[in-house]
Chains A and B, each alone.
Chain A
Amino acid sequence: MSSGPDNEQVQAAPMYASAEKIYPREIKGRFESLSKLATLILLGLFYGVPWLMWDERQAVLFDMPARKFYLLGVTLWPQDFPYLALLLIIAALSLFFFTALLGRVWCGFACPQTVWTEAFIWIEQWTEGTRSRRIKLDKAPWSWNKLRRKGSKQLLWLTLSLWTGFTFVGFFAPIRELGPDLLTLSAGGWAMFWTLFYGLATYGNAGYMREQVCKYMCPYARFQSAMFDKDTLIISYDETRGEPRGGRKRTADPQALGLGDCIDCSLCVQVCPTGIDIRDGLQYDCIACAACIDACDSVMDKMTYPRGLIRYSTEHGMQQRDTRILRPRIFVYAALLLVLLGGMVTSMATRTPIILDVIRDRNSLYRELPDGFVENIYTLKIINQADDNRNFRLSVDGVRGISLDGVPAAVAVNGGGVLSLPVRARAHRDDAYGIMNIAFTVTDVEDASIAMTEDSRFLGPTP
């Protein structure tokens, strides 16, 4: 361990052998830049999207109190639940696809746990300094300096957490009204509660639990290996090139000393956010953040050895065999994804913007009118999913001579509105007996192609 950078700290470390905490060391490099970019984009999306507007309303709003979801130009209703289910299936399949192809890129670059931990570590580094300073600071007795640094870290952490909670609630309640409401404490109790709940969860997960979440609590971390094969991208240490490891002078010839390329500087372990040694081989604790690649490359550059002692590779690649990207597993996942995505897009593009619900009055079976007619009562619920006001025509068929009574020629429904309309359907008792199937239809007055039919029952006396 003679030529590893920061020898002083390496020697200071044994005091922390049983430390409770991992102090990931800061590192610069290609993958660090990539991860910083991913973090900034994802956090930017999360914090920014609720503020976007779309025609006078929030562009993305899951309006739970009104039971409507606004997604840019689309308004989704509880009846559109299949889309949500389909979306979740697509998300899961994409995870499988990308895992088979690229290994745990999700864990290393896109998982909220990683992204917020990253943000919290930035704050930690900014207030408490580098890894070695943080270790020293934690060990030092309480002083004004320690109080100031720890205090400002907590203040920033809490602020970010609360802002995160506020933003989260802002996806479910109009964020522009929510902000002032929360500040003046006039927001509803539940908005306050969820802001604090989500904020504290962020604080605990990203500030304290960190890698423990991945190690002990994450189901994906446990089953991702099922999607792996010998051609999946993994971070690996080139054992044949690196071993036997050992310290040496920069000018020394490793071959003469009988050493491999690993100088055993332990930097790859110091930068690891989950505190593992990648040189022990692939471990399920590894979240594939590639920090060790950056660390090792920087050391290899210093030693003027070629880069890539730790690198992205595949099991086949490490065995000097060809890596096949296009393999059956990839095709199956890709095909399934394409079919589902295509189906979802087509169905959303062709969906009729009206919904009709027919509820039969349960209190009476049927009523016989004096003129020989039988009457059934229904409540029709017409939901206009379009954004503009529309007029609809109602009709019913299925029984000879059946007609609607007391219904205007056209009913108007506001854009995004629901109309609940009690209607009476009538048929002559000679035509209506027992249980008969009927169907209600609503048709847009201006555009007959926009129509929706819903089945129901018509009851009459037993013949």
Chain B
Amino acid sequence: MIQEEYRGARQWSRNRQAIAIVVWISFLTAAIGTMVFFALFDPVALSGIFDEDLEIGRQAGYAAGFFFFWILSAICSAVTAWLVRTAPKRDAQHR
């Protein structure tokens, strides 16, 4: 069949799919989280709460917040994906 030859033969392995999904979805979640969080809190005001001597610029604060949310949601997302994938086989039959 001709179409088989033209068909997108490019398939990602399950691991690669999982990594891509985890990274991307946690990125989106982190973007929304950062937006909501910093609309409510000013990073400059926040840095004063933790340590009075700590002087963080707004931009560094935003970036730190974003990466914090990204790493947090990536961990959550990765553990979820891992648990779902490694669930015992016999349970899968009852789904």
Q: Is A78's CB under 8 angstroms from B10's CB?
A: no
Q: Is B58's CB under 8 angstroms from A13's CB?
A: no
State the CA gap A222–B4 with chains docked (Å). Answer: 24
Assuming A78-B40, A269-B3, what are 7 further A-B pairs, CB within 8 angstroms?
Answer: A16-B5, A64-B58, A85-B36, A188-B59, A190-B59, A213-B24, A275-B10
State the CA gap A412–B38 with chains docked (Å). Answer: 28
State the CA gap A419–B1 with chains docked (Å). Answer: 74
B-side contacts of A58, CB under 8 Å: none
Contact with B along A285-316 (1 / 0, CB 8 A): 10000000000000000000000000000000
State the CA gap A191–B57 with chains docked (Å). Answer: 13
Q: Is B63's CB under 8 angstroms from A211's CB?
A: no
Q: Is B58's CB under 8 angstroms from A67's CB?
A: yes
Closest A residue to B59 by beta carbon equals A190
Tell me if B's interface is mostly helix, strand, loop or mixed. helix
Q: Which of B10, B35, B39, B59 contacts A21 (CB 8 A)?
A: B10
Closest B residue to A22 by beta carbon equals B8
| Residue among B2, B4, B24, B36 with most chain A CB within 10 A | B2
Question: Is B55 in the interface zone, CB < 8 Å from A?
Answer: no
State the CA gap A219–B42 with chains docked (Å). Answer: 31
Q: Which of B2, B8, B24, B35 contacts A275 (CB 8 A)?
A: B8
B-side contacts of A279, CB under 8 Å: 3
B-side contacts of A17, CB under 8 Å: 4-5, 9
Given contacts A216-B17, A275-B8, contact A65 B2 (CB under 8 A): no
Closest A residue to B58 by beta carbon equals A65
Which residues 59-82 in B have Cβ within 8 Å of A in the complex? Answer: 59-60, 62-63
State the CA gap A270–B25 with chains docked (Å). Answer: 31
Question: Is A217 in the interface zone, CB < 8 Å from B?
Answer: yes
Q: Is B39's CB under 8 angstroms from A81's CB?
A: yes
Q: B44: shortest Cβ distance to chain A, in Å?
A: 9
Given contacts A17-B5, A269-B3, A275-B7, contact A219 B25 (CB under 8 A): yes
State the CA gap A65–B60 with chains docked (Å). Answer: 10
Question: Is B46 in the interface zone, CB < 8 Å from A?
Answer: no
Q: List 14 A-B contacts (CB under 8 A).
A: A19-B10, A81-B40, A188-B59, A190-B59, A190-B60, A191-B59, A212-B20, A216-B17, A266-B2, A266-B3, A270-B6, A274-B8, A275-B6, A277-B6
Q: A400: shortest Cβ distance to chain B, in Å?
A: 36
A-side contacts of B57, CB under 8 Å: 65
Question: Is B50 in the interface zone, CB < 8 Å from A?
Answer: no
| Residue among A188, A264, A266, A276 with most chain B CB within 10 A | A266
| A→B interface (CB under 8 Å) | 1, 10, 13-14, 16-22, 64-65, 67, 78, 81, 84-85, 188, 190-191, 193, 209, 211-213, 216-217, 219, 264, 266, 269-270, 272, 274-277, 279, 285
Q: Is A276's CB under 8 angstroms from B5's CB?
A: no
Which residues 23-56 in B have Cβ within 8 Å of A in the complex? Answer: 24-25, 35-36, 38-40, 42
Q: A272: shortest Cβ distance to chain B, in Å?
A: 8
Interface size on B, residues (CB 8 A): 27
Q: Is B2's CB under 8 angstroms from A269's CB?
A: yes
Closest 8 A/B residue pairs (Cβ)? A275-B8, A81-B39, A269-B6, A190-B59, A266-B2, A277-B3, A217-B24, A13-B5
State the CA gap A78–B43 with chains docked (Å). Answer: 12
Q: Is B9's CB under 8 angstroms from A20's CB?
A: yes
Q: Is A13's CB under 8 angstroms from B10's CB?
A: no
B-side contacts of A212, CB under 8 Å: 10, 12, 20
State the CA gap A18–B8 with chains docked (Å). Answer: 9
Q: Which of B20, B35, B40 contacts A217 (CB 8 A)?
A: B20
A-side contacts of B39, CB under 8 Å: 78, 81, 84
A-side contacts of B42, CB under 8 Å: 67, 78
Q: B6: shortest Cβ distance to chain A, in Å?
A: 4
| Residue among B7, B20, B21 with most chain A CB within 10 A | B7
State the CA gap A152–B39 with chains docked (Å). Answer: 43
A-side contacts of B59, CB under 8 Å: 64-65, 188, 190-191
Q: Is A84's CB under 8 angstroms from B8's CB?
A: no
Closest A residue to B27 by beta carbon equals A201
State the CA gap A410–B7 with chains docked (Å). Answer: 74
State the CA gap A19–B58 with chains docked (Å). Answer: 47
